[in-house]
Each structure stands twice: as C-alpha cells, then as structure tokens.
Amino acid sequence: MSFDFHTKDLSGSSFLITGGAGFIGGHIAEYLLKNNAAKVRVLDNMVNGFTKTLDILKQYPAFEFIEGDIRNIDTCKAASKNIQYVSHQAALGSVPRSIKEPLYFNEVNVGGTVNMMMAAVENKVSQFVYASSSSVYGDEPTLPKREDRVGKCLSPYAATKKTGELYAQVFADVYGLKIMGFRYFNIFGPRQDPDGPYAAVIPLFVKGIMQKTPVYINGDGEQTRDFTFVENAVQVNIKGMLTQNEEALNKVYNVAVGENYSVNYLYVKCQQALNSQFEANYREPRAGDIRNSLADISLAKNNLGYQPTKKFEDGLMETISYFKSIYSATL
C-alpha cells in the first residue's frame, strides 16, 4: 500500500485481527506488520481464511496465529489477552447463503461478535473496531446512504450485522468499551476469493472472462454499487483503532468512495481491461439484494480523517492485474 494511514509509532502497540487470514483482515494485518507493529495476532478458523495469506504474514516476526473460532468464548478471551487494539473482521458474508443458513449466520455474526466484545471488556482492550455492512440499509431508498437513516433488513445477513451494531452501542454504554463499526460498501481487491458458490462479483467476472466459463449478472445489471477498493477499508480500520478523537467513538461509519457504478459498467470495464468480447448471461434478480447503493462518507471524513486513496477504476485495474497473474498461470 502506497499510503501511511497512521502517525503513531506502532512499535509499542499490540493488535488482534479476527478473520485475519481472510480478505479484508489479511490486508489490515499486513499493513500493521509492514509498519512495525510490536505484535499482530490473527484469530481465524480458516473457514474463509487462506493459507496463502498466512504465508505472507508469517514472513514478519511480530506475527502470531491462533486457529480458533469466535463462537468459543474461551478462544476469544485467550486471543484478546495482552492486546491493545482489536479489529473484528471475522464473519460469514453473503446474502444468499444467509437465506439458506440463518442459524449458522446468527451463531457466528451475532454470537461470535458478542463473545469478542465481552473478551475485549474483560481484557481491558483500549479500542475495538468491527465490520458491519451496507446491507443494514435494507429497503431505505434515499441516496446517498447516511448513517442515521436505515430501513428494514432484507436478509438474515443484514439482520446479523444490524444486531452487531446494537450490541456495540450497549457495550459502549454499559461496559465503557471504546468501539466503532464500519458499514462496508462492496469492498474489492487483490486476494478476494474467486472460488465457491458465494464468491464476490469482480473476481468472478475476471475469472470467467479469462477462462471463458459462464459469467452471470443478476437482473438487468443496471443495479448500482459503491465499489470500494480494499485499501480504503484498511485505512479506516487503522484510523479507527488509533484515533484519539472521543467524538469518533460509539458510532458506525460508511466505508466507501462516494461514487456508484452499475454492474453492467463494471463488466464492460473488466472486458476492456482483459481485451475480451466475452459476453455475460443475465438471470433472475437475487433475493435480498438492494437495487442501488451509494454512500455519504462525510461522517468518516470529519471524525476519522478518512479520505479514499484509490477510486474505483484505479482499484479495479490493480485488482484485475492481480487476478490476471493468477489465472494466466492456469490457462
């Protein structure tokens, strides 16, 4: 990453990243390790984690790994011991999967999150940040999405993330936990998982175009998203963990760029970057999906000094070149 998102010397600071072998968590852990944090501990059960991410992190002597599950309170307490800052990224993603497996999503995303908050309180963690989601906006039609206007949840996944926000407010008020949440808007970038039935759209498009395997667009493709490069998610986590602005605490923030693009536009950009005319197939809209998404990011800018460092097209080019290098080896 080409930017420094901190001014503090990290050589005396200890961090825990849950889900740190996963996509966003892995990038956060790598940033901290590259910037000489004293200790970067990752807790991951490897359900959504990658050994290739661990291989990158293992190069740094300050790295520690605990293979464990946030559904186990004792694991959470052990992982949080002697830790100053927690970035809680461990979760199950995917709207359609949550519709199939609501109980599992509740156990991990609600039960696991409460475990982590409780462990942080017991271990006197200095500051705690956690991943929420733009899905909590549900059927609220107003654009841009503003943190104080939410609609009705449209999926079990959205409900679990909204519940996490409710617990965060309670843990702040009742236990004095210094906490804040981040509503991620369609985070993408290198190392995002292109495989499995619930893979994200950008790696799916790139893989399909390169390997000439069927690519599907849900609905008419004109639905819009505030696609956000992963570097921006790293930035807000670092700034959130380290901020000394008391006004910034006990809030939830949109993490996005503040620009939206249609899925059709995204697909054309992928075609152009890969010099391909390979066409996508259109299918029924997906249950639980919102139609349009665009974030107001002024709250994060004002309270955390957040400023997106990479816009959609630059981030997309970087992501495509990453996946090109992976898939060209397999073609």
User: Annotated active-site positions, please?
Assistant: 157
Total residue count of the chain as it appears in this document: 331
Bridge partners (DSSP) listed for residue 127: 85
DSSP state of 293: -
Residues 6+ apart with CB under 8 A from 47: 92
Q: How many angstroms separate the CA atoms of 245 and 242, rounded? A: 9
Q: How many angstroms separate the CA atoms of 189 and 247, rounded? A: 31
Which residue shows structure tokens 């995917």? Answer: 94
Beta pairing class for 216-218 and 224-225? unpaired
Closest CA to 183 of 136, 139, 132, 146: 132
Residue 55 tokens read as: 């291989």
Bridge partners (DSSP) listed for residue 145: 295
Cα torsion 43, 45, 50, 55 to 10°: value is 50
Residue at 315: amino acid letter? G
